[in-house]
Amino acid sequence: MKTGILGGTFDPVHLGHLILAQEIKEKLGLDRVIFVPAYRAPHKGKNGLLPARHRLKMLKLAVRGNPFFRVSDIELRRRGISYTIDTVNAFGRRYPGDELFFIAGSDLVPDLKTWKGYRSLLKAVTFVVAGRPGYPAPGKMVPGVTSLRIRTVDISAAEIRTRRKNGLQVRYFLPEAVFRYIVTNRLYI
Q: Give me the residues paired with residue 6 across strands.
A: 35, 103
- Run of H or E residues at 2: strand 2-8
CB atoms inside a 10 Å sphere around CB 97: 6
Q: Would you say residue 161 lies in a domain? A: no
Query: Of 77, 75, 57, whose CA–CA distance to 181 is shortest?
Result: 57
State pLDDT tens for residues 80-96. 999 999 999 999 999 99
Q: Give me the residues paired with residue 127 across strands.
A: 102, 145
pLDDT above 70 for 139 = no
What pLDDT, on the 0 to 100 scale, is given for residue 15? 96
CA dihedral 185, 73, 101, 154 (to 10 degrees): 10
Confidence of residue 132 (pLDDT cuts 50, 70, 90): low
pLDDT above 80 for 4 = yes
State pLDDT tens for residues 145-155. 888 888 878 89
Q: Would you say residue 183 lies in a domain? A: no
Q: Would you say residue 45 lies in a domain? A: yes
What pLDDT, on the 0 to 100 scale, is given for residue 109? 75
Q: Would you say residue 184 lies in a domain? A: no
Mean of per-residue pLDDT scores for the chain: 91
Q: Would you say residue 174 lies in a domain? A: no
Q: Would you say residue 131 lies in a domain? A: yes
Q: Would you say residue 187 lies in a domain? A: no
Q: How many domains does the chain have?
A: 1
Q: What is the mean pLDDT of residues 30-39?
A: 97
Is pTM beyond 0.95 here?
Answer: no
Domain containing 41: what range? 2-153
CATH code, domain with 46: 3.40.50.620
What pLDDT, on the 0 to 100 scale, is given for residue 141? 57
Q: Would you say residue 158 lies in a domain? A: no
